[in-house]
Amino acid sequence: MSAELGSPLTLGLSIKQHRSQSPLLKSSHFSAFSLSKTSPLFNSSLFISKNVTRPSFRVFCCQTGLETAVQAGQDRLLKVPTSNIRNFSIIAHIDHGKSTLADKLLQMTGTVQKRDMKEQFLDNMDLERERGITIKLQAARMRWVIENEPYCLNLIDTPGHVDFSYEVSRSLAACEGALLVVDASQGVEAQTLANVYLALENNLEIIPVLNKIDLPGAEPDRVIQEIEEVVGLDCSNAILCSAKEGIGINEILNAIVERIPPPSNTAGCPLRALIFDSYYDPYRGVVVYFRVVDGTIKKGDRVYFMASEKDYFVDEIGVLSPNQLQVKELQAGEVGYLSASIRSVADARVGDTITHFGKKADIQLPGYEEVTPMVFCGLFPVDADQFPELRDALEKLQLNDAALKFEPETSSAMGFGFRCGFLGLLHMEIVQERLEREYNLSLITTAPSVVYRVNCINGDTVECSNPSLLPEPGQRRSIEEPFVKIEMLTPKDYIGSLMELSQDRRGKFMEMKFITENRASLTYELPLAEMVGDFFDQLKSRSKGYASMEYTFIGYRESVLIKLDISINGDLVEPLATIVHKDKAYAIGRALTQKLKELIPRQMFKVPIQACIGSKVIASEALSAIRKDVLAKCYGGDITRKKKLLKKQAEGKKRMKAIGKVDVPQEAFMAVLKLEKEVL
């Protein structure tokens, strides 16, 4: 019987003939041999080559370097010597390709399969993906083989924004090296510098990486010169790469192994592990991410948190790769997670040291601080019935975010709400957006304010974040406000405009230096209260988006500050009170009274709207009364008749004004709050 090529019999024979020759052809790959000519697989070149006259089977398949890496990636839980462990972080300015590079490293090492891969893999929140920023810190364990020697690479992906600089500093303390990623077209930006200085403080080995070299506007030579001049790093062995196109990724992985030092082998010492992140899981309690610095930690150990002075039994221990994979123990140099039925994130704070309860370490790891909120604002539900839902939502968010503080607040205008404290403006925006998106709440937010320190005559110091809590003028000796040091990097064309902006915001000029021929660095010291409004928006609009900024808190300083009250028809409106600098009081008072005049509906009597400092009125507007035309029926006659009618009307208006109340509508409050954000 002659078998026609492509018939079920021929296909079966050809597979049998070649199975013994090719190790790739396992029986499990070809379970059914009854393919007919009509089968869609029959015509595929993967299975059959048509241009042959004898029964044959050809497999077009070759094992690439990526597939080898994928196989190595499956073995990433296998132990390696401490000398083969590398802990590193990626530091970069916003939108310089940090998350894209992390994705490519995960893919190249086979840590994440191609079918599971998605852009910004380590950014879990929708908010992070939409904005293109990293908010929540992530970690991933990878395996990379060089000359048949396996290495364990622990990537700790950090947020880049200044609001989270404490978390970034603790993450960098958990590493021995860092990749400094700089956009080959944009060059060094403000946050690049800030993060590099943090890395240098922690004595990290820094590997410069120039990303996006595939772009038409890339200027690697100029950017390399800029890094050498501004940062002072030797860029003779800088790596040129394109994370999007996959160029230079192998070189980066090899450089991590060759140039970043391994951790010290201190497995025999008492346990000390540094917490660099934690989050709340509704089923397991708080899950802690940590780096073992000294000693060994096993499942079932009783551990002690040295700063919070709490102890727990470890229920589960494992590594992040990037999903959680359980292991029995972790040794010095390794990065992992643990869960121990911890009820509150505040018990496992970032920067705390974990040690054994029975054999405690003598000293805890350096650098621990309790983060304190810097910016405050009021959050009120638009619908008063949503107050319980807002409280529950804030409590749930606080489980994951120990830096978020809130306390109940009552406003005569907006009802019940909360006074919330945040690390900075981005942190505030993220919390507001998550409340609205994840918990379906409609919120009104008051203008952001800062914490003032009031030195009283009796020697007490009162911290005040709300104007209504400010002591009376007779009890105050002085008021101090927080100051920040701000560094702006800008093209030279916009230096004048940014200097003008900083001077308007009570900034004190410190220094200006040209970092390259066309770019300058401006350093100012200015009050945080002047920066929490629209400073960043103004910076971007005045520099057409080219300038970038970075700020650090430098302490409290005494200023001439006063409380500006708004009075409507003689009654003080507490929600509109603000703490302002004396020099700006008139301009802000004038702007607020004019805006309120437009927004408050006219009454049957005259309504004065006044901005006051204590009892002194500094700006005033008046809403004229709605008048009935009482002279309409007089079409002639004596003037005394008209005067009598007008006098009678004036007496009625006077009596009405004495007992009348002015209701300020919600829209007016919202508009004034928006104005406050602009003018403060």
Q: Is the dihedral of CA 449, 453, 456, 460 positive or negative?
A: positive
Residue 277 β-bridge partners: 289
Q: Nearest 5°: phi and psi at 30?
A: -130, 80
493 in a known ligand binding site:
no
> Dihedral of the CA atoms 353, 355, 361, 363 (nearest 10)?
10
99 in a known ligand binding site:
yes
93 in a known ligand binding site:
yes
157 in a known ligand binding site:
yes
Cα(425)–Cα(372) distance, integer angstroms: 14
The DSSP letter of residue 335 is E
160 in a known ligand binding site:
yes
Tokens matching residue 187:
């060059």
158 in a known ligand binding site:
yes
Measured CA to CA in angstroms, residue 508 lies from 417, 434, 487, 511, 673 at distances of 37, 36, 12, 10, 28
Name the maximum alpha-carbon separation found in the chain.
133
> What three-state secondary structure class fits 405?
strand
383 in a known ligand binding site:
no
CB-hemisphere CA count at 13 Å for 491? 10
110 in a known ligand binding site:
no
Q: Token pair 């109940």 is at which residue?
A: 408
Are the C-beta atoms of residues 641 and 634 closer than 8 Å to each other?
A: yes
563 in a known ligand binding site:
no
Cα(418)–Cα(403) distance, integer angstroms: 16
Q: Nearest 5°: phi and psi at 137?
A: -70, 145
Tokens matching residue 480:
């101090």
213 in a known ligand binding site:
yes
68 in a known ligand binding site:
no
Are the C-beta atoms of residues 377 and 446 closer than 8 Å to each other?
A: yes
Give the length of the chain.
680
Q: Token pair 């296998």 is at which residue?
A: 78
Measured CA to CA in angstroms, residue 274 lies from 295, 301, 323 at distances of 12, 16, 20
Q: What is the CA angle 223-224-225, rounded to 5?
A: 90
29 in a known ligand binding site:
no
> What three-state secondary structure class fits 19?
helix
> Dihedral of the CA atoms 662, 667, 673, 676 (nearest 10)?
-80
50 in a known ligand binding site:
no
Cα(240)–Cα(211) distance, integer angstroms: 6
Tokens matching residue 163:
């609001």
Residue 238 β-bridge partners: none
Tokens matching residue 450:
């800062």
> Dihedral of the CA atoms 45, 47, 53, 54 (nearest 10)?
160
Residue type, 364: Q
Contacts of residue 442, defined as CB under 8 A and 6 or more positions apart, other chains included, come to: 381, 382, 383, 386, 436
Cα(338)–Cα(348) distance, integer angstroms: 11
Containing 462, the helix (H) or strand (E) segment is: strand 461-464
565 in a known ligand binding site:
no
427 in a known ligand binding site:
no
Are the C-beta atoms of residues 342 and 285 closer than 8 Å to each other?
A: yes
554 in a known ligand binding site:
no
540 in a known ligand binding site:
no
Q: What is the DSSP string of 556-613?
A: EEEE-EEEEEEEETTEE-GGG-EEEEGGGHHHHHHHHHHHHHHHSPP-SS-EEEEEEE
Measured between its terminal Cα atoms, the distance across the chain in Å is 95
Known binding-site residues for GTP equal 92-99, 157-161, 211-214
Known binding-site residues equal 92-99, 157-161, 211-214
